[in-house]
Amino acid sequence: MLVKKIFLPFRTRFERLITTQFSERRGILTKEVNDNGLIILNRPEKLNVVNLRMIENLGVVLNEWKDTKSLIIIRGNGNKAFCAGGDVRDIVQNGASHGMKIAKANLLNKHLIRNLKVPYVALMDGITMGTGLGLSIHGKYRIATENTVSAMPETIIGFLPDVGASYFLPRLRGKLGYYLGLTGSKLKGQDVVHAGIATHFCDSEKIKELEYSLLHLNNPRNVESVINDFCPKIQSEFSLANNLDQINECFDASSVEEILCKLECDGSDWARKTTKTMRALSPTSLKVTLRQLNLGANLSLEECLQMEYRLIFHFFQDSDFYEGVRALLIAKDKHPKWNPPSIEDVPTEQVLSFFEPLPDNDRLPIKEKFRSHL
């Protein structure tokens, strides 16, 4: 028996070590090894979709660790998702005031992550969408695997790309971020690195060993070299490589109508599929999102988060959001009745109203300047 224990494969020994000595806070698990910390999003049955309690607890841990840890790692529990987004059904069921509590805590967490002075490593193994992207892309190291599926799919449910997306999407190369933000298109595996969303790619079978090696590091200066040991340079070609010129041409526009006109003139199979996709999405969300991205391209991250806070408030008051969640996630009839029903019917005044200040000039309590890894 003793011999068997000594010669257990590394993966088996590692899995025993990594499942012990956790502290549990509702929705998340934490583990501390010397001066390093591990955060695990712990709703695997819900693909680690975050609710208010999880977001608040995550903020508590980040605040506790920002000045005491040498390294912070975050990953999802289970084998399917890092984090599939925010719990929008919870918001619909509990109302706008509950949703704004989530929005404030969520956006403030992005501020915390961006301003961490210690290395922050997101292990993006599995589905990484919406809030999941926000929990990864604002940190310095983002590790994708062949299981990673990345997207900002908010326009599909009549919402807007938030969690700092108005900052990071316009800063992806060319107009790629506009394409991803407006269409909700997914990227998989090494494409997440090609797009600039992830910084490294690691085989999923090595992710736990990478986590273990990082968690037991004595010198945080060695973080990058350890990551590079597990993440060789990728050799594949970006799956969108042949479409990048079209994306840059068609999504360089001041209006959604202009984008659709350019797609129609393009006439390719890709353009026809993209047009069909956009025509099925919330017209209001598309128009607000385009303006949001155009503004965000010239704003600081702090200004983008403040803008998103205002936008979220107005979306929770009167928008396609509730209908989109109903049709796609609750009733699942997949036939949302958008109002207005077509892009051409959305008045400019309605779009501009989403950008108006909040009652009593409510703002996020953010003062610090942002660090940028993009």
How would you write the chain as a 3-class SS string? CHHHHHCCCHHHHHHHHHCCCCEEECCEEEEEECCEEEEEECCHHHCCCECHHHHHHHHHHHHHHCCCCCEEEEEECCCCEEECCECHHHHHHHCHHHHHHHHHHHHHHHHHHHCCCCCEEEEECCEEECHHHHHHHCCCEEEECCCCEEECCHHHHCCCCCCCHHHHCCCCCCCHHHHHHHHCCCEECCHHHHCCCCCEECCHHHHHHHHHHHHCCCCHHHHHHHHHHHCCCCCCCCCCHHHHHHHHHHCCCCCHHHHHHHHHHHCCHHHHHHHHHHHCCCHHHHHHHHHHHHHHCCCCHHHHHHHHHHHHHHHHHCCCHHHHHHHHHHCCCCCCCCCCCCHHHCCHHHHHHCCCCCHHHCCCCCCCCCCCCC
β 36-41/71-76 pair status: parallel
Q: What is the pLDDT of residues 160-198, one digit of tens each?
A: 999 999 999 999 999 999 999 999 999 999 999 999 999
Contacts (Cβ under 8 Å, ≥6 apart) of 188: 146, 148, 149, 150
Burial class of residue 317, CB neighbours in 10 A (0-12, 13-18, 19+):
exposed
pLDDT score of 315: 97
Residues recorded for the chain: 374
pLDDT score of 121: 98
323/157 Cα distance (integer angstroms): 8
Q: Is the Cα dihedral 87, 284, 149, 211 positive or negative?
A: negative
pLDDT score of 26: 85
The torsion defined by the Cα of 337, 247, 143 and 75, in degrees rounded to 10, comes to -10
pLDDT score of 369: 53
- Residue written as token pair 């002075």: 117
pLDDT score of 19: 47
Picking from 301, 294, 309, the residue whose alpha carbon sits closest to that of residue 258 is 294
Q: In the beta sheet, which residues pair with residue 142?
A: 122
- Residue written as token pair 């910084």: 199
Q: Does residue 374 have a pLDDT over 70? A: no
Picking from 44, 305, 340, 268, the residue whose alpha carbon sits closest to that of residue 166 is 305
232/245 Cα distance (integer angstroms): 28
Q: Residue 2's pLDDT band (boundaries 50, 70, 90)?
A: very low
Picking from 13, 69, 18, the residue whose alpha carbon sits closest to that of residue 40 is 18
187/189 Cα distance (integer angstroms): 7
For the chain, the domains span 1-151+196-237, 241-360
The mean predicted confidence, pLDDT, of the chain is: 92
**Under a CB-based contact definition with an 8 Å cutoff, are residues 196 and 173 in contact?**
yes
**Under a CB-based contact definition with an 8 Å cutoff, are residues 132 and 85 in contact?**
yes
Let me know if domain 1-151+196-237 sits in CATH 3.90.226.10: yes
pLDDT score of 98: 96
Q: What is the pLDDT of residues 100-155, one digit of tens each?
A: 999 999 999 999 999 999 999 999 999 999 999 999 999 999 999 999 999 999 99
199/136 Cα distance (integer angstroms): 10
Q: What is the pLDDT of residues 224-255, one digit of tens each?
A: 999 999 999 998 999 999 999 999 999 999 99
Q: Residue 220's pLDDT band (boundaries 50, 70, 90)?
A: confident
Residue range 340-361: average pLDDT? 95
Percent residues over pLDDT 70 in the chain: 93
Q: What is the pLDDT of residues 286-342, one digit of tens each?
A: 999 999 999 999 999 999 999 999 999 999 998 899 999 999 999 999 999 999 999
Radius of gyration of the chain (CA): 21
**Under a CB-based contact definition with an 8 Å cutoff, are residues 25 and 57 in contact?**
yes
pLDDT score of 22: 82
Q: Does residue 4 have a pLDDT over 60? A: no
pTM for the full model?
A: 0.91
**Under a CB-based contact definition with an 8 Å cutoff, are residues 324 and 130 in contact?**
no
pLDDT score of 25: 83
